Structure 1
Amino acid sequence: MVTNAPAAARPQAAARSEAQVRARVADLEALLGDPTDPANPAGYPALLRADDDAVRFAHGEELLDDFGMHTEYVPARLGGRLDSIETLVRVMRPVFRRDVGLGMGYGAMSFMAASDVWNEGGEDQQRWLAARLLRGARAAIAQHETAHSNDYVRSRVTARETPSGGLVLSGRKPMINNLDRAEALVLFCRTDPAPGSRSHSALLLDPAELPAGRATLLDRHMALGLRGNVWGGIAFDDCPVPASALLGPVGSGVATALRSFQISRTVISSMVLAAVDTSLRTAVRFDHEHRSGGWTSGASDSQRTTAAITGAFVNLLLYDCLATVATRAIHLLPEQTSVYSSAVKYLLPRILTETMYDLSIVLGGGFYARTGTLGIFQKHVRDVPVVSLGHAGTVACQATVIPQLPRLAARSWFREEEAPAALFRPGQALPEFDAGRLSLACGRDGLSATLPAAAADIPGRGPVERALAQLAGLLVDEFRDLRDRVLALELRDRTTPVGAACFPLMDRYALLLAASAVLGVWRHNQGGPDPFLADPAWAAAALHRIARRLGATVPDLPRECETRVRHEVQLRFSDQRGYDLYNTPVPG
């Protein structure tokens, strides 16, 4: 990392690092090619055929092998390319932009399993897994508990200690992605029948070394989305495994999972945004090809279509602000990421899924197409919701944040120091990740401190900036009201809030965190490389949507906001650039 370089050399080193990341992303985009080209074997027609057949997209995986994508999941200290979580997200977004199933099946699941080992495993375990991943092997993670609504702390796999010091496994895990080809398996199991935080443990296993007859693969399960992913299961019948398989001490599994979720929730949520980028581009392309008069038409249908497209772009930027901030917080504010990771995963199904359905207004009957360039839209609509399910779904995110609300309201909100500017600057060099700094709940929130600080610092030189300042001030008032309501909650054991009122309060908090991220990105990118991020128009449009989601009565935005955002949508489509914060070239 550049943190040990002389001060004068750090900007140059950071610039080189950013250039290298952009070059890697560009190389991958070029390798995958134009997805709309019917002759491209990695294009939409080929991947849609694989989806219809419910098989893995083999050619896409071969190209990712050629690129060396499997090395992106291994830390640089162990011989891989993983130097920051943000870099991993940026390199994986081109894959998710093309096919969520390819992204999840090829590598995201391997990274989810591996992150437990990088964070909690011993040196021998880390080197063992790194060697396998570096030669292209896959890893799988067994956490899902379909019989208990994916509550991973109700594991049906139990492990009991033997007199010789080993473990014996019994029970089954019915839903494990990639198990059929995994050369490493991270398994969560119950090691203590008593309930509590010390009831579970995590194991790192080699499936090939499990004794025959004691571990049996179960039949494949199919899902509506991610049809090309292979979900298998495993049943254990008094299956012996060595004590050396333990990741951390016995009983540390719940803490391991909760720390791991802070990374996996953020990474997956940030990666899957790329699918919405493609959905927006698909809708814009369809509109350009089919609307008489193009974007200059004044008909009411044209106005509704334009509103849907520009609104989708604002939603995408709004969500990406929170996703990017949460990703960078893993390095910059790791103690605070339990809240941010949960907020970004909590908003995933609402903002991104609703955005894609809103874009169906543009497609009309084309929404149902399963072939051609429109087929990818329908596939993303089916795939994205599946990513938001499971142990890291909406309820799990609520369960993470709600218990922290009283402490945050009493000790942090309107008291905490504002988050550093680096948190809001996509692509800026990051310090090395320190897993030891991850905290299950630290009672601090520097991101929300950006909201009142930025609201007090908006110049208000023109109508758009004045609208932004007004909206920011309104949201600061909403934040104060949220604090008062949280402090008034009934508490159990003087710490944990009870009652149905907790859930809408958590919802409001997640939206206010998104507003803080929007303001932070706008404020700290003045004079940056992307003039659009420095423009108040998109930020005002984003805050306007958040305020309306919160139920606030807000005036219409100045016409300049819609005009500027619409122009950016057209410009990026014409220039073949992505719709996310990184604004990088994309093929097709």
Structure 2
Amino acid sequence: MSATVETVTPVIVDAYGRAAELDAYLGDPADPGGRMPLAVTLERDHDRAFPAEAVAALDAWGLPRRYVPEAFGGGLRDVFELLLLMRTVAARDLTVAVGHGKTVLGAISAWAAADDSATHMARIVGAGEAVSWGLTEKDRGSDLAASQTAAASAGGGIRLDGHKWPIGNATRGRAITVLARTEDKPGPRALSLVLVDKTEVDPATLSYRARRPLHGIRGADISGIDFGGTVVPGDRRVGAPGQGIEIVLKSLQVTRTLCAALSLGAGDQALACLAASRVDAAVIARGAADMLLAEAVAFAGARLFHVAPAEMALTSAFVKVLVPDLVDGVIRDGSYALGVNVLLEDGPGAAWEKVARDAKVVSIFDGNSVVNLNVVINELPNIARGVDEEAGDVDAFAFDRDAGAFDMSGLRLVTRRGSRLLRSLPDLVERLDDGRAHPEAVQIARALVGVWRELAVRVHETERAARPPVAQFALAEQVTSVFAGAAAIAVFVANRDHASGDAWNGDLWLRAALARVTGRLAIDIGTLPAAELQQLAVGGSISLLPEWRAQGRGGA
């Protein structure tokens, strides 16, 4: 490992550099002449209007190309680069990030299938056209296996009958990846995916369900569509017949990880508002610590997609539980601290009220916390098989490491031995404790190992249950918190020799992150370095990452 920043490889420098380019391109939200000015954002939100100008600006910059993997002619390589770009947008307006980023969800199944559908999808997305992911139906909740939209052979094509609601981009999108029933029998193998390109079908067979009023992301196109004998070409199936649920579940492993971008962007907005409002220093310190922990978890999750794809079923659930919850905590505490100001429609309260509404939506996307904790519960027997092993190539979490190509072929529906970060936590702490780390960070890390060993015994003793009891959800939450601590330690150990910035001085961010982990686990050890964190937040740059914002702008 080199000790100088100058040796960072060009591929990863470009990832942060591209985020900084996008940040500079969009401009300062306080500047009325910028491409996403705050005043316009608030006006669009008040009017529940789709942010068409901002979406067009992102298209002009070339963001859609970053949604398409290199293998299909696009610019998507490192998942974390995409996460950072989406965070840059979300730090200004979650409605825009969702409205534009929903195309990632609509297209992701084609990238997973990696067949002819991916080639056609790449042309659509690369042209800047919006795509929708048609999974849910009215009155069926999150039970995708209960989908009733039907797809049947019709001459040389595929005929669809049914509906999808509520879904993003249903009305404004050019294409929809539809989960449809291809066999009249129970079970996941009765469902397949079909790509509906509206330019290829009779528009008279399509009708739309109007947008419903939303509490958050008010201007987004969350609507519905009905198919009445809609016939698409016969080669528009995505994946093999009967693979619909399997492809969707693998796709969710990527989209759940990318949801961290939306939460981080909301957190960026919230912390900037708190710092400007000069609320109690303790509130700012806790918020800064939670954001640093969330950032470490998001980076680790994105990197694990490349280095341990077979574990992403579990990793993505960890990320989806942790990051939205951490940011929701920042906003909840901030709302109390701001008091009556959050009710005002001018000043900081206007922006705060919007981000507080918008951020709540993220926890629902791609499975809420209960759904994802249930994933962790189902994985407990696999986690029990893999306790204590060497950390191996911890440099995989280095900022200067080329993550490799975007490739979904290694994803699996379940893991074999849980999480490599959990398995290697004791070894990670040994590497941390080499005489260089802050003593308090080491003390907390060693306590975390002790907690994990106790939890591992309970994990091993856990029996499968058709309906998991409350105690298993509590255990899953604790395991998830230990994962957060392990992720923070891994990122720190991999980067401390060459990382720089205020968050790294005195191992500040690691001390802060681990203190928040112990708080989640109710361990009475360590103290939050509140004064240092408050100073960091007021300085305007809460990030442990290499510089990814435009120079001269400390925050979003």
Distance 1:239 1:79 in 2: 29
**Residues 1:520 and 1:535: Cα distance change in structure 2 (over 3 Å):** farther
Instruction: Give 1:302-317 correspondences, 5 Å limit.
Output: 305-317=280-292
Q: Equivalent residue for 2:166? A: 175
Distance 1:256 1:234 in 2: 22
Amino acid at match of 2:485: A
Is the counterpart of residue 210 in structure 1 residue 201 in structure 2? yes
Amino acid at match of 2:118: Q
Q: How big is the shift at 1:544?
A: 2.1
Counterpart selection for 2:80 from 76, 86, 101: 86
Deviation larger for 328-337 or 170-179: 170-179
Is the counterpart of residue 197 in structure 1 residue 188 in structure 2? yes
Distance 1:172 1:550 in 2: 44
Q: Equivalent residue for 1:476? A: 449
Q: Equivalent residue for 2:548? A: 584
* Contact 2:303–2:396 under 8 Å retained in 1: yes
Amino acid at match of 2:20: A
Counterpart selection for 2:130 from 117, 132, 138: 138
Tell me, what secondary structure is at the counterpart of 1:35?
coil
Q: Equivalent residue for 1:56? A: 50
Question: How high is the TM-score relative to the length of structure 1?
Answer: 0.87
**Residues 1:397 and 1:27: Cα distance change in structure 2 (over 3 Å):** same
Q: How big is the shift at 1:36?
A: 1.7
Amino acid at match of 2:288: F
Counterpart selection for 2:276 from 271, 282, 285: 285
1:207-250 deviation per Cα after TM superposition (whole angstroms, max 9, x unaligned): 23333443322222221111110122112234333432211111
* Contact 1:471–1:543 under 8 Å retained in 2: yes
Distance 1:146 1:241 in 2: 23
Q: Equivalent residue for 1:294? A: none
* Contact 1:139–1:185 under 8 Å retained in 2: yes
**Cα RMSD (Å):** 2.6
**Structure with higher RCO (Cα < 8 A, 6+ apart):** 2
**Residues 1:523 and 1:546: Cα distance change in structure 2 (over 3 Å):** same
Instruction: Give 1:417-456 correspondences, 5 Å limit.
Output: 417-418=390-391, 420-426=393-399, 428-444=401-417, 445-456=419-430
**Residues 1:578 and 1:475: Cα distance change in structure 2 (over 3 Å):** closer
**Residues 1:339 and 1:271: Cα distance change in structure 2 (over 3 Å):** same
Amino acid at match of 2:197: D
Instruction: Give 1:176-575 correspondences, 5 Å limit.
Output: 176-287=167-278, 305-409=280-384, 411-414=385-388, 416-418=389-391, 420-426=393-399, 428-444=401-417, 445-459=419-433, 465-491=438-464, 498-531=468-501, 532-533=503-504, 535-552=506-523, 554-557=524-527, 561-571=529-539, 573=540
Distance 1:232 1:347 in 2: 28
Q: How big is the shift at 1:509?
A: 1.1
Distance 2:382 2:327 in 1: 30
Deviation larger for 394-403 or 333-342: 394-403
* Contact 1:152–1:391 under 8 Å retained in 2: no
**Residues 1:339 and 1:418: Cα distance change in structure 2 (over 3 Å):** same
**Residues 1:94 and 1:209: Cα distance change in structure 2 (over 3 Å):** same
* Contact 2:440–2:526 under 8 Å retained in 1: no
* Contact 2:432–2:442 under 8 Å retained in 1: yes
Tell me, what secondary structure is at the counterpart of 2:164?
strand
Q: How big is the shift at 1:307?
A: 0.6
Deviation larger for 512-521 or 466-475: 466-475
Q: How big is the shift at 1:39?
A: 4.9
Q: Equivalent residue for 1:119? A: 112
Amino acid at match of 1:272: S
**Residues 1:469 and 1:388: Cα distance change in structure 2 (over 3 Å):** same
* Contact 1:186–1:203 under 8 Å retained in 2: yes
1:364-391 deviation per Cα after TM superposition (whole angstroms, max 9, x unaligned): 3222233445422221111111122144
* Contact 1:450–1:520 under 8 Å retained in 2: no
Q: How big is the shift at 1:120?
A: 0.3
* Contact 1:85–1:330 under 8 Å retained in 2: yes
Distance 1:170 1:269 in 2: 35
* Contact 2:70–2:406 under 8 Å retained in 1: no
Distance 1:491 1:529 in 2: 43
Amino acid at match of 2:11: S
Tell me, what secondary structure is at the counterpart of 1:169?
strand
Distance 1:390 1:514 in 2: 21
* Contact 1:44–1:373 under 8 Å retained in 2: no
* Contact 2:291–2:327 under 8 Å retained in 1: yes
Amino acid at match of 1:170: D
* Contact 2:29–2:37 under 8 Å retained in 1: yes
Question: How many residue pairs end up in the alignment?
Answer: 548
Amino acid at match of 1:431: G
Q: How big is the shift at 1:335?
A: 0.9
List runs of 5+ in structure 2 lacking aligned partners.
none
List runs of 5+ in structure 1 lacking aligned partners.
1-7, 288-301
Distance 2:363 2:11 in 1: 32
* Contact 1:151–1:391 under 8 Å retained in 2: no
Identity %: 26
